[in-house]
Amino acid sequence: MKTIDELLAEGVSGKRVFVRADLNVPLDGTTITDDGRIRAVLPTVKALAGAGARVVVASHLGRPKGAPDPAFSLAPAAARLGELLGAEVPFATDTVGESARATVAGLGDGGVAVLENLRFNPGETSKDDAERGAFADELASLADVYVGDGFGAVHRGHASVDDLPARLPHAAGYLIAAEVSVLKKLTEDVKRPYVVVLGGAKVSDKLAVIDSLLAKADRLLIGGGMAYTFLKAQGHEVGISLLQEDQVPVVKEYMERAERNGVELVLPVDVLASTEFPDLRTKAPAEYTTVDADRIPADKEGLDIGPKTRELYASKIADAATVFWNGPLGVFEHPDYAGGTRAIAQALVDSKAFTVVGGGDSAAAVRTLGFDEDAFGHISTGGGASLEYLEGKTLPGLAALED
């Protein structure tokens, strides 16, 4: 995989460099609530602009239906990128149309522009090779060089991720290089004990990575909504907690395999349970009770791990040499149910291990709860991409850069 440093050594002054970034930031209307992904691409953009390249930044945001949708415009991200760079960043109001061509043509050496949401064009995500390839051809006409730096999208076989690099000289940006380096530490020559903390809502989203980790991890700590399917698999009452009944047989098999492999699989021993889901808009105080995880009342749902579980999980992390965490342990968006996620984050901070926060909601939680990002070994920008890498899958965006 060619690095951006090699590209810079060859010279990029005056060249149009297409940077496939991941500016898929969370928005409240037009307000960015977490700009971590924008800041993550800054080193690559600054290096290219500083070397005199004409930088064309492109990304997706959300899941528009292949047509323009103001709710998913990248305009706020472009404005924030300009603020962080301390320079004007022109914004093209389309992807490959008149505005995009004029915006790119107007760039001077060292200039940076942003294209509108790539997913506003149906060719970006099309499953038809010809349609996707045609869009990649149009994108290629806007650039001389391609730099992949959108780690959060490398598991997608999309036009700007998979097809475009084949049409231009290409290299990996600083973010992708850093992400791959970190993930190798979780899959090759891992320092032990290796502890993995998995949370989030659905166990089905994590089955493949659990399957892989049962041959690699020393301990697997389970929390979040997915924990209740595990508890059900043990024969416990889970009330009205989030449950994927159809996954219970698979989970049972995984629990048996963990025991055979000597992997310590740890489940919650107590939870915060309530008869209703909290109001995440008003953050009004919630009414809940702390109950044993094997005795959740039939009319209640578990919404966070309890204090005993927090202490238990912290103790299981304390002596680790490597820790990977993906997924919140409860409804962290509400202050009354953020304690479990906060406790895991604090345990990682207190640990002497190499700690990796696996993107997505986990990364958002770390920032929302006010933790210093530098206190962690690495905070990934791609939750789904990180998980698929750990599963052992070939990620199209990385494979395209290796050619």
270: annotated binding-site residue? no
132: annotated binding-site residue? no
204: annotated binding-site residue? no
Q: Which phi and psi (to 5°) does residue 325 adopt? A: -125, 125
User: Among residues 360, 382, 383, 397, which one is catalytic?
Assistant: 360
Query: Residue type at 198?
Result: L
8 A C-beta contact, residue 317 and residue 311: no
Residue 374 three-state SS:
helix
8 A C-beta contact, residue 305 and residue 268: yes
Please enumerate, as own/partner, the contacts of 246-251 that have beta carbons within 8 Å and a separation of 24 or more: 247/203, 247/204, 247/207, 250/207, 251/203
To the query of whether residue 37 is one of the catalytic residues in this protein, the response is yes
d(CA 129, CA 47): 33
62: annotated binding-site residue? yes
Closest alpha carbon to 233 in 242, 223, 245: 245
To the query of whether residue 342 is one of the catalytic residues in this protein, the response is no
d(CA 353, CA 351): 5
E strand or H helix at 378, and its extent? Answer: strand 378-379
Q: Which phi and psi (to 5°) does residue 71 adopt? A: -65, -20
23: annotated binding-site residue? yes
359: annotated binding-site residue? yes
User: Among residues 37, 54, 219, 342, which one is catalytic?
Assistant: 37
User: Among residues 80, 101, 202, 257, which one is catalytic?
Assistant: 202
To the query of whether residue 283 is one of the catalytic residues in this protein, the response is no
Could you tell me how far CA 333 lies from the centroid of its own chain? 17
281: annotated binding-site residue? no
d(CA 309, CA 302): 13
362: annotated binding-site residue? yes
User: Among residues 224, 327, 384, 397, which one is catalytic?
Assistant: 384
152: annotated binding-site residue? no
CB-based burial label for 90 (10 Å; 0-12, 13-18, 19+):
middle
To the query of whether residue 384 is one of the catalytic residues in this protein, the response is yes
2: annotated binding-site residue? no
Helix and strand element counts for the chain (H, E): 14, 16
d(CA 73, CA 68): 8
50: annotated binding-site residue? no
179: annotated binding-site residue? no
61: annotated binding-site residue? yes
For the annotated binding site for (2R)-3-phosphoglycerate, the residues are 37, 119, 156
The residues annotated with a catalytic role in the active site are: 37, 202, 360, 384
For the annotated binding site for ATP, the residues are 206, 302, 333, 359-362
For the annotated binding site for substrate, the residues are 22-24, 37, 60-63, 119, 156
For the annotated binding site, the residues are 22-24, 37, 60-63, 119, 156, 206, 302, 333, 359-362
